Structure 1
């Protein structure tokens, strides 16, 4: 859609002012939204220009007041960007004019009064005429809450009452209320206020509500990744968990981390949840629920990939009609509502399924440790800890971590760049790095030593003290960017300094405890059978270096697992891989891979003739008897820095 204000000028040059103002407002709003995403100053300048034009066309005060308020916001934002003092003066002027036009005439003088108190008085005046449920209340109460924290003597109870009230305004958008809740939790924690835990809880609820509004995995990822105005929620889950740990509520911390990570995977997993138990209890409800789940998942994964021929189920496709008034997203909302109704129906009417697809409480999460301890590593700006779950104790043991974990993952990340610098000689000493070391030497050893000292050593000490035998299995669950650290290989790596992790325990990783529990349940109900392996190998590709050992790798693999199909070089086409995946319990890829930093769903395995098998295709390639996947490919477990807790990479998808 192209918004053209000139379209409302008739042949004789007369302007339909009402229509032009409306179009100018829409155009300004769209430009400002694009500015918030791309931070392009040209869009912000154009926003202010179109609002100024709309203001000049406004015939009455009722129209001028909201335009002045938006114009004030625009020039104030520009002041934040470039620091031009005239913009700040204009912002104050525009907001004052807007207030006068809505009947707030008696503005206190700036002279001889507390500036913050004056703004509070203005905010209270603006709030009074608004009826309950007015959508503007969220923003006003949010601002007033902040202001009450910055008076000569902070009015804490009033401030946190306003934060709570703003979050509870049901007519406000979930995004606005998320912004309020994040600020509430941060401020409450800073002041040691008893509402902190409640604030974190509200923030997580609003984050979930925001994601419900996005239909596809791409749009959900974009929401989680982009810097939203006034919202900094990338560390929300880690901070909430660290607060629970600070108060020694370790079980609660585990639940927070479990529910707050891998939002996208968790939603997708609900749509292809194993239904064997439900099928045995109620086959009709199971079949209908599976059909609805499949249609929602196909829409979520394929719609924004450019594939519009979505293979919806036959019973549904007959009545799908995409028109200008009924878009695919209208249909998706209806389908999602039907799915939720079916879910409620199953919980209410099928015995034993009251908690079907509910987040697991700790009483069930601890079962992830039945085959070995699970170690969750949480890193926040407030503190860093390992939460260790051991089967025999059925409780959580907390190990405070002494290392500078931010410096550790940055050090690991830097190994992939041409050069890297240590910020201080202190960090060099902490990680065992010698002065003057350059990249040509074995930098990996220094990372492994740093991970040992900063994370692993105190955990190993605890495991040994609780009788966890050497060479038994343990599971690591690192959060955030700690996921790029080679925790499984850490150690002192120095003669006489003791064993390294590979010589002490057998390490595995899991993104969440639920994934581990579900995988074991699937295996428990599966029939024993001889594995059949699909081997997919590409030894050469024009844009990439050749991989001459792929055929050797295939031959060696086949000596151990002779059963199954082999696809090599020219046979490695996307359609062939998709056709064979459901027929095999094991799969082995030997090829190049490409990691997309900004669009992780476009990350791919490189097939023959540079055809790409993308992450989203892995998400759709279900196999009811899948058991083992081997990815002999670079970058197959690379994390996205903008959303590390989503674990969006090829290894997780397959």
Structure 2
């Protein structure tokens, strides 16, 4: 009867959750125990049930009451004592439950005796039932917990945990999928903890593999376990990134953690852990991917939520305070706000205060506090006393270290930086020597495959240089160069860190005058440029990164010229310039030969290349930012992860292809000898390098050796001055040039002047005239080249392709000459027909791939828009299209299409680019300096962006005439990337492009277009239009316009901007 009464009361409790009901159930069960004889086989079960009731009562208590738990423990111990059977599953379960009670008692108290008693009982239970997955999982969880909290780590606990759970998984087949998922997750966590202890890679890989299996089981069979399993997988992937530096693991960690948060309510005990992990992951992501400020914002937002969700009594609170504090540490470095530093110190001080004195992480948090004091001193927000305190804390942390390898290295590394800072302040050589000793110890402790190794080697090099500067001991310099070289030549770790090391290697090898070392250092440096802007990034991110390092290539070429290594200068200029266009070109490499060798492999390469190209064009700003919802962020992160995985797959495919005989150099950087193989059969390519050290030109002609032409009168400073004067001159004349324009003029008179999107006011200051600009270009650049080539004026001049760098990319070299002196009048156009090419490779690529003779895609598509939204009207566009139509008709060209006004849409334009080999665009254009791939042409229904054109299937593209403003002008900060519409059209597949360097007068555009098509059509077969003579046609069209105009500056500004790109 009492048993039935207890069950009835329990049923009532489960429906009401009233504490009084569970108290009544306990009273009834205690009565049943009292009435049950000690020799009854039912007594152990009664005691077991009473223990479970006491345990439930404990969990319902609003305050911690150990007495209830002791009653539960006592009842279960009696149940075990009265269990007659030995080594039965029932006995194993009771020992397991008793162990679980001790483990639950340990959680709020952190009393080690409870954990040890629980583990001893779990072991006894596993010994009885080794195939029971739940019991083995509980043992593994408890052992892992003890390993994580032990000051002196004992890996034997983890050995037992992994062995027991592995054996249970091998022997037992669980009918409960959620149990299997939990067991696999526990096994994975144990492996990861052992990896933290011993640093063995197989544990890291085994842990991630087990956790992936756990996620797979949970997704299909145990959705309630999915959130916790994803959380564990995210943590393991984060650990893997810390060790191996594999970006895809960090991206995936962020993705799965965001998903786990979406599956977890905020009032769950797991939510704080998830937000803490997410904050740490974004903080790790911050230095890895060009330090985007949004990463820090995300890290602080998530970290703050984790701290807010955690009570001060929670043993995890110190870790979460510490993590948030380190975010503010980096925020201070970013913003230099004393409030950020104060918040950093306050958070970490609280973390240290809440950490028990015997906790293994206390030393680690003390080092974090020391780091904050140190960075405050470094930026003069703190005193030398704070630095001394940082050194004291650092030494104390190392002395009391838990001997975890990772923490030891981190603490030692930090202490080394404190000593270096004090040396810089006091010049006490003992401090710099101690710093070097500590850093050498860090290098010894760092494994050969640790992702932190490149940074630590670089830091050692920098410290050794400081010692060399102080002592002039040459051994320090030699060791420093060796450290920089070792860092730069590693194949793992953040590319940006390795690039910094390579540049420092270059600097000090140059100071030593070691030619071989200089060449080797620059070889690595230029190679690392492409790694720094890897395919796993969007094009926008790559361009932003390149703004910081794009001049490195010019410095490398300058050094090569100085060492008379013309071959290296050409190779480095090709490898290190127009990196994004080169990457796109590689993704579009024809695969005919590979298809003949291995059709399936070629198909995989083609599929991944197309997917990578599409991924690179995506716009992360659509969903990104701190204000976006977590669901939006998760979607964005999934796209990012897929992008990174595609880049990784691409690298793997390249390795496979290059392992095939005959394909060893597939998509590798081109050697100078190969560059010369596909030059145009007539004409000369002139590469001009403008660097701070020197300026040089190289003339390349088919079948001839390169001719080096030092430009001794030219300097980077002079070229910049000329470019600045031209910019000012254009502003003075109300002409749009680049994105950085001030004083916008919205008056109607200004609007009717040009095809600029934003006409500008004219400043009153005086600058060089257009004649001065062109004369300086003639004297400093063109004349020395003409003389070296022994060119003569001719009525039938040959071709020159100009490939300038630095400030020269913004200057009209093609129009160089002396125009104001009747006795000295000489112009480049008398000697050559000029074209431009972003790189040698972009030109040779066109030469290699012959013009297709596809009649279905022949002819010309014309798109014109005279009125667009609030932009100035362009009445000349209609006259322009009529003039072109007349020329087409008079030369028998029947294949053409015209789209004006509301018919000039983005979709129609793209369709006709695919259907016609030639395109003529007469409209407004805009260059987006922040995101060059969003530059484009303003059509009736919006902007046709460059990214859309590049992604289109333009198999037979031939000629594009861009009758719009600034279509060959890029961002000055990206002068080596040629991020303008003309280069973009070349990348999209056009063999030749007519473009403009600045906004063109609307009234002259129809004349240039008419003359151009008349010359082009007159030079070829009647009824046929192709761009093979486009450069010559533009040359003649401009000459004809010049003859109609006077020699005023305004007239020159009307014809000078027209340029030709391509073959």
- Tell whether the structures are fold-level matches, with TM greater than 0.5: yes
Alignment of 1:272-421 (within 5 A): 272-279=588-595, 283-304=599-620, 306=622, 327-349=638-660, 352-366=662-676, 367-403=678-714, 404-418=718-732
Q: Is the CA contact 1:572–1:608 (under 8 Å) kept in the aligned structure 2?
A: yes
Equivalent residue runs for 1:401-550 within 5 Å: 401-403=712-714, 404-418=718-732, 443-464=769-790, 471-493=797-819, 494-523=821-850, 531-550=858-877
The structure 1 residue matched to 2:390, chosen from 70, 84, 94, is 94
Alignment partner, residue 428 of structure 1: none
Q: Which digits, 9 at most, give the CA deviation of each residue in 1:371-414, with x for residues without a partner?
A: 31111110111111111112242333233341222222222233
CA distance in 2, matches of 1:307, 1:291: 26
Q: Which residue number in structure 1 is paired with residue 367 of structure 2?
A: 66
Change (3 A) 1:616 1:324: closer
The reply to whether residue 121 of structure 1 matches residue 434 of structure 2 is yes
Q: Is the 8 A contact 1:593 1:633 kept in 2?
A: yes
- C-alpha spacing 1:234/1:124, structure 2 compared with 1 (3 Å): farther
Q: SS in structure 1 opposite 2:564? A: coil
Instruction: Confirm or deny: 8 A CA contact 1:413 1:484 kept in the other structure.
Output: no
1:9, distance to aligned residue in structure 2 (A): 5.5
> In the alignment, what sits opposite 1:162?
483
Distance in 1, matches of 2:780 and 2:940, equals: 43
Instruction: Give, in whole Å, the separation in 2 of the partners of 1:142 and 1:451.
Output: 43
CA contact (8 A) 1:21 1:57 kept: yes
Which structure 2 residues correspond to residues 253-272 of structure 1 after superposition, within 5 A?
253-272=569-588
Offset from partner CA, 1:522-581 (integer Å, 9 cap, x none): 225655888411111110123211110101111112233442221111112222222222
Q: 3-state DSSP class of the match of 1:397?
A: strand
Distance, in Å, in 1 between the alignment partners of 2:642 and 2:511 is 44
Q: CA deviation at 1:283?
A: 4.7
Matched position secondary structure for 2:688: strand
Is the 2:623–2:636 contact (alpha carbons within 8 Å) kept by the matching residues of 1? no
The normalised TM-score by structure 1 is 0.83
Deviation at 1:496, TM superposition (A): 1.5
- Scaled by the length of structure 2, the TM-score of the pair is 0.53
Question: Which string of whole-angstrom CA distances, capped at 9 and with x for unpartnered residues, describes residues 26-61 of structure 1?
Answer: 5643x566677xx5334x742552244213321354
Taking structure 1 as reference, are residues 628 and 6 closer, same or farther at Cα in structure 2, changes over 3 Å only? closer
Which of 885, 892, 907 is matched with 1:575 structurally? 907
- Assess if the C-alpha contact under 8 Å between 2:304 and 2:324 holds in 1: no
User: Distance between the aligned counterparts of 1:170 and 1:284, measured in 2?
Assistant: 29
Is structure 2 residue 944 aligned with structure 1 residue 606? no
Q: Is the 1:372–1:473 contact (alpha carbons within 8 Å) kept by the matching residues of 2?
A: yes
Q: Does 2:885 align with 1:590? A: no
CA distance in 2 between partners of 1:87 and 1:519 (Å): 63
Q: Is 2:460 the counterpart of 1:132? A: no
The SS at the match of 1:164 is helix
Contact 2:325 2:345 in 1 (8 A): no
> Within 2, Cα distance between the matches of 1:464 and 1:498?
18
- Corresponding residue of 1:429: none
Match status 1:46 vs 2:340: yes
The question of whether the paired residues in 1 share the 8 Å contact of 2:529 and 2:576 is answered with no
Deviations 1:270-320, CA, capped at 9 Å, x for gaps: 112233454566554433322221111111112536499xxxxxxxxxxxx
Distance 1:414 1:235 in 2: 24
Q: How many residues align?
A: 607
CA distance in 1, matches of 2:618, 2:425: 62
Match of 1:212 in 2: 534
SS class of match (2:575): helix
Evaluate the alpha carbon distance shift between residue 98 and residue 553 of structure 1 in structure 2; reply closer, same or farther with a 3 A threshold.
same
Question: Secondary structure at the residue paired with 2:973?
Answer: coil
Contact conserved, 1:259 with 1:359, CA < 8 A, in 2? yes
Structure 2: gaps (5+ residues): 1-297, 400-411, 625-632, 735-762, 986-1063
Structure with a larger share of its residues in helix: 2
CA contact (8 A) 1:594 1:603 kept: yes
State how far apart, in whole Å, the 2-side matches of 1:579 and 1:70 are.
59
Moved more, 383-392 or 467-476: 467-476
From the superposition, tell whether residues 443 and 21 of structure 1 become closer, same or farther in structure 2 (CA, over 3 Å).
Answer: farther
Q: What CA distance in whole angstroms lies between the structure 2 residues aligned with 1:324 and 1:90? A: 45
Residue of structure 2 equivalent to 1:644 = 975
- CA–CA distance in 2 between the matches of 1:111 and 1:600? 43
- Give, in angstroms, the shift of residue 139 of structure 1: 4.5
In structure 1, list runs of 5 or more residues that go unmatched: 228-232, 309-321, 421-436
**Distance of 2:349 and 2:462 partners within structure 1:** 26
Inter-partner Cα distance in structure 2 for 1:369 and 1:100: 70
**In structure 2, do the counterparts of structure 1 residues 262 and 145 end up closer, same or farther at CA, with 3 Å as the change threshold?**
farther
Which segment is superposed worse, 474-483 or 559-568? 559-568
Report the CA distance between 1:221 and its aligned residue.
Answer: 1.5
Spell out the pairing of 1:178-189 with structure 2 (5 A cutoff). 178-189=499-510
Instruction: Tell whether the 8 Å contact from 2:775 to 2:818 is kept in structure 1 after alignment.
Output: yes
* C-alpha distance in structure 2 between counterparts of 1:357 and 1:269, whole Å: 10
C-alpha offsets along residues 593-652 of structure 1, whole Å, 9 cap, x if unaligned?
Answer: 11122222222211115x111121122123110001111111212221222111111111
CA drift at 1:181: 1.2
Distance (whole Å) between structure 2 residues aligned to residue 626 and residue 112 of structure 1: 63
Alpha-carbon distance in 1 for matches of 2:473, 2:794: 51
Contact 2:689 2:697 in 1 (8 A): yes
CA distance 1:602–1:96, shift in 2 (3 Å): farther
Does residue 1:14 correspond to 2:14, yes or no?
no
Measured on the aligned residues, the alpha-carbon RMSD in Å equals 3.5
Q: Secondary structure, in 3 states, of the residue corresponding to 1:570? A: helix
- 2:143 matches 1:143: no
CA gap of 1:386–1:100, structure 2 versus 1, over 3 A, is farther
Q: Secondary structure at the match of 1:302?
A: coil
- Check whether the contact 2:683–2:799 (CA below 8 A) recurs between aligned residues: yes
TM-superposition CA deviations, 1:311-333 (whole Å, max 9, x none): xxxxxxxxxxx978982233233
1: CA distance, partners of 2:693 / 2:658:
39
Within the alignment, does 1:3 sit opposite 2:317 as a pair? no
- Could you tell me which residue of structure 1 aligns to residue 957 of structure 2? 626
Answer yes or no: is the 8 Å Cα contact 2:322–2:365 preserved in 1: no
